[in-house]
Amino acid sequence: MKHVDAKKLKPVKKSGVDVDQQAGAEEAKRMHELLENMEQGVIVWGADRRCEFISKRVYDMIEVSEDDLHVGVDRNEFIQRAVREREYTAADAKKISDSMESLEPFKFIRTSKGRHRLLTAGRPQPDGRLFGTYTDVTRQKRTDAALAAARA
């Protein structure tokens, strides 16, 4: 069998579409479906501090409109809006800012307009992006409070 140098192979075209491009598009579609179907809300902030991705679940969880949060929105403006509306504290906003500088992950509880308790977690990436998730912990917090009250 003759040895084939993979570096010299040209991409196979199928109906005028590069198979590698098609595979990449299919993988991107699967990843998008996965993120949209997670229990958590997911948001990705770019190195330029602008929103790159937001799952639809985030809108329901933090109760904002697509006018307030969409791809391209500046993260600092979004955070300051949340502080003004008392969804984040100034300390939470500082924690997010500091974590971006130090590349340290962060977690805190955010209270939405509808009084849902959301575990907000962020993981800064070395390339400057921030991956964030929102998990509704309202029921868990109520259960914890009821157990504490029962023990008292």
Percentage of the chain exceeding pLDDT 90? 26
Please name every residue paired with 51 in a beta bridge, in sequence order, or none if there are none: 45
CA 152 to CA 147: how far, in whole Å?
9
CA 125 to CA 104: how far, in whole Å?
9
Q: What is the DSSP letter of 6?
A: G
The HSE-up count of residue 19 (CA atoms within 13 Å, CB side) is 6
75: tokens are 């993260």
CA 85 to CA 83: how far, in whole Å?
5
| pLDDT tens for each residue of 6-47 | 445 444 444 455 656 667 788 888 887 888 888 899 999 999
Read off the pTM.
0.72
The predicted structure's pLDDT at residue 82: 84
In contact, 91 and 35? CB cutoff 8 Å: no
In contact, 20 and 6? CB cutoff 8 Å: no
58: tokens are 């985030």
Q: What is the pLDDT along the chain (152 residues), one digit of tens a residue?
A: 444 444 454 444 444 556 566 677 888 888 878 888 888 999 999 999 999 999 999 998 888 889 889 999 998 898 888 888 887 788 888 887 787 778 889 888 888 777 788 999 999 999 989 999 999 998 887 787 788 888 88
User: Is residue 121 classed as helix, strand or coil in its secondary structure?
Assistant: strand
